Amino acid sequence: MIEAVRGSWTRIVLAERTGVFAVALGVMLVVALAFGLTQGAARVPLSDLGAALLDPAHPSHAVLTAVRMPRLLCAALVGSSLAVAGALLQTAVRNPIADPGILGVSAGAALATLTGILFVPGHPEIFPALGFAGGLCAMGVLLVASGSAPGRDHPLRLVLCGVALQSLFFAGVSLLTFLFAERAPSFVSFTIGSLHGAGWREVWIVCVPTLIGVGASLALRRPLDALLLDDESAGGIGLPVRSVRLAVSGVGALLCAGAVAVAGLVGFVGLVVPNAVRLLVGPGHRALLPLSALAGGSLVLLADTGARTLAAPVELPVGVPLACVGAPYFLHLVWKLRE
């Protein structure tokens, strides 16, 4: 009786905490968007922001609606996609330091997308499909090469295989850069991660895979919770472990592909955000996935605003501030696992 009451009380407290964090992250996302709109070469006072957005005659209207707004929406969608993809892949491989970049999924998607940019540049709408194919291929090779089967998967083996795949795909990116040296500057931005020049077309390109991927991940939240168990226990309650792991990996690859298609190799979002959110609300995916989407969107929004303004008039790639945050956090996670 006491245990039942204690369990009910814990669930109530966790639900209240989740609600508080959801509101806080939603407010943070809106504030980050508003702050990003006011910052840039031509700063807009916060008091004039509403008028500048709604009045076509306002001097800043064109800059806000044609340049800053689509870029910031791209940043929010990219951040949400990568954060949810990170949460999915961490569950799929049962490793808290898994990330689309570390596992080679981002690099596989990037190589396929870069190939499309080179050979079919006039059809950017197919870049997410190419990236999805590349990311799914990378994830499939990872699961096969690491021997991911009941009782045989090992976190270290998965990470090592992912690092090897990442190196292999980056070699392909480097080869394309060497062969097409005249386009090397744009390739550098792609490999670091940049939202420079993102417009409304890029918003639609990333929006579709993000909505599909986040919706599919929420539909998979119960199998994902079961996947937190070991394979034998999950199979014992009737979960088709291999099928669920493949489905989860496919959704993660789709989310990663949409982000890579418009922003290139933006790193560490899928590592930092899900782990931070997991510490706040626990491992349950019903709360983890939507909160990761909100937190990831806010993080990339703030990072892109900082990249545009910290070294003005020089504009840094968005991957630079994210790496400055993500690399120390990755070392912290490795240290905690060591302990």
User: What end-to-end distance do the CA atoms of the chain give, in Å?
Assistant: 36
Amino acid symbol at 77: L
* Beta strands per DSSP E along 8-155: none
Amino acid symbol at 312: A
pTM of the model: 0.89
- In this predicted structure, the answer to whether residue 219 has a pLDDT above a threshold of 90 is yes
Contact between 82 and 239 under an 8 Å Cβ cutoff? The reply is no
For the ranges 41-55, 176-190, 257-271, the one whose mean pLDDT is highest = 257-271
Render pLDDT for 57-81 as a digit per residue (tens, 0 to 9): 888 888 888 889 999 999 999 999 9
Amino acid symbol at 84: V
Between CA 280 and CA 139 the distance in angstroms is 28
Instruction: Please provide the average confidence, as pLDDT, over all residues in the chain.
Output: 83
CA distances from 184 to 5, 72, 85, 179 (A): 63, 25, 29, 9
- Domain spans of the chain, in order of start: 2-338
Render pLDDT for 166-190 as a digit per residue (tens, 0 to 9): 888 888 888 888 888 676 666 777 7
Q: Which of 119-123, 132-136, 240-244 has the lowest mean pLDDT?
A: 119-123
Render pLDDT for 268-280 as a digit per residue (tens, 0 to 9): 899 899 999 998 8
Percentage of the chain with pLDDT > 70?
90
Return the half-sphere exposure (C-beta side, CA atoms, 13 A cut-off) of residue 209.
Answer: 33
260 contacts: CB under 8 Å, gap ≥ 6: 106, 109, 110, 113, 131, 135, 266
pLDDT value at residue 2: 47
Contact between 269 and 295 under an 8 Å Cβ cutoff? The reply is no
Render pLDDT for 294-324 as a digit per residue (tens, 0 to 9): 999 999 999 999 888 887 777 888 888 888 8
Q: Domain 2-338: give its CATH code.
A: 1.10.3470.10
More confident call, 86 vs 124: 86
Angle at CA of residue 241, ends 235 and 243, nearest 5°: 140
